[in-house]
Amino acid sequence: AGSCAVLDPTAEYSSLKPYQMPGIYRFGGTGNSNSRHIQLDSGAYLIGDGVTLVFDPDWPAAGSQSGLALDSSSALVLNTMRILGTAPCTPTETEATHVNMSAPLSDLPYSAVCAAWTIDPRVAAGVKPGANAWGYCDPANLGNSHCVPRSSYNPSTDYRGVTFYFTPDGNWTKDHANINIQDRFQLNGDPGLYFRGVLYAPYDNAKISGRSGFNTVGQVLVWSAKFNGGSASIDLDFPYRPGSAAPYLLEPTIAR
C-alpha cells in the first residue's frame, strides 16, 4: 500500500538470466491461486515502459487475492511513455507530447506503445512473425548491471506492441471448441488502468468496472468485453489506423 514498483526492462538495477527476454515478464507456476497474483493495495502503483506481460494458462482468474488483484486507489500503468517524434511501430502517427511515468528511469528512444514484444498482424496465414524490441542480454556480460542499454529499444516498423498476452487453456494444444473461456482480466472497484498497445486475450472475458476513469486503454482483443460503472470513463488510446487483421497466434522468437 502507498508504494510504487517499476518494471525495468533494461535490467538497470539487476541482471537478466540467460533464458530471459528483456522486457518480457512471465507469470504462472504451481501453488494455490492466492500465491499467484499481482496485488496492488490502496495507493500502490505498478509502472513499466517497454514491457510485455505474458500470463501462462494456469494463471488464476482475477480476485481479491489472486490473479490481477488491484485495490481501491491503485493503478496499473504500462507502456504509457510518450516521446516526441514517430515511433517505429506507429509510422503514420506522430507523437506531440512527452510523458515519462517511469521516472527516475530514463526515457526510451521511442514511445513505449511499441512494448517489448511486437507482432505483425498483416500476415494472413500460419504463425505470425514476432520480434523483440530489445536486444539480447549477452550471457557473457551478466555481471554488468547495465545488461541491456535503453538505447537498444528498437521495435519493428508496422508491428503492433503487445502489452498483455494471456495464453489460453491448453496452451494452444486444444481444439478451439474445447478451450475453457477464462476470466483473468477483471478490474473492479476503483483502480486505475493505463496502457497502450494490445491486450491479447482471445479466450478470456475482460471486465473493467467501477467508478474510476481509465484514461488510456489500448486495443482490446478478447472473447468478450464489459465496461461499466457509475461515473466511469474509458479513453481508448490506440494510435494505429484501422486495418483488417486475421486472428493470429503469436510467436516471440520466430526465425531465431
119-173 residue pLDDT tens: 887 777 666 678 889 887 766 665 655 677 888 899 998 888 999 999 999 888 8
23-35 residue pLDDT tens: 888 888 777 878 8
Query: What is the pTM for the complete model shown?
Result: 0.88
Which contacts qualify for 229-232: CB closer than 8 Å, 24 or more apart? 232/208
pLDDT band at 177 (very low <50, low <70, confident <90, very high): confident
Which has the minimum average pLDDT: 96-100, 118-122, 207-211, 219-223? 207-211
- pLDDT for residue 254: 38
Res. 50: pLDDT tops 50 = yes
Question: Which pairing describes strands 233-236 and 213-217: parallel, antiparallel, or unpaired?
Answer: parallel
C-alpha cell, 124: 494472413
pLDDT band at 256 (very low <50, low <70, confident <90, very high): very low
